[in-house]
Structure 1
Amino acid sequence: MTDHIVGLDKAESDVILNYLYDVYEKNVDIQLRFKWTPGTSALWDNRITIHNASWDYAGKHPRHGTRVTSLAEVPYFDASAPTRRQALGLLDDEEKKELGI
């Protein structure tokens, strides 16, 4: 886990990192809760995801997990691609105006 931000003193770094950890851990918009049932499978991209098991599974049926890693192209950022809010149609009028849409 990240323990400091290069170029900031410890106090500044701690404040920013604690805020980011809180956003990541508590923001339900970026979390997925998966309900295990017999025969289900779940896959995620470990390059951009942190996964954490919840201890709320009753264990009536065995479950098995296998970690897989894709062999694909190197991830890249396309600055001209639409934002997530644009792609989901969530822009408000002011955001549309700023983007000239």
Structure 2
Amino acid sequence: MSSPGAFEGHPVVPSPVVLDGGDARCVLLLIQLARLVADLEAGTVVRVIATDPAAPLDRPAWCHLAGHSYLGQVPGLGRPTYALQINGQARRVDPNAPWRPGR
């Protein structure tokens, strides 16, 4: 028996979690992102919508610092969107300054 919406032999892929950062600048967006991912299960894909011109550099750098997988920019969505995947073995970051390692 398959799950509703699944094709024979193919499991349903959960929708990504979306953080719409809008025009938020790097610092605020990183704080929101760090708080969001703290409660997500390993393997969850997060899409971050961000118009900040630094976003293409900030997302992969933060993923490297925190230990999550940066999946790249998601094309064709109309607004700049970046995907990452939660790693169960990620490093803690300071929730109030997520550009710093946590304790």
Q: TM-score, normalised by structure 2?
A: 0.22
Name the larger-Rg structure: 1
* Higher RCO, 1 vs 2 (CA within 8 Å, ≥6 residues apart): 2
Q: TM-score, normalised by structure 1?
A: 0.23
The structure in which a higher percent of residues are helix is: 1
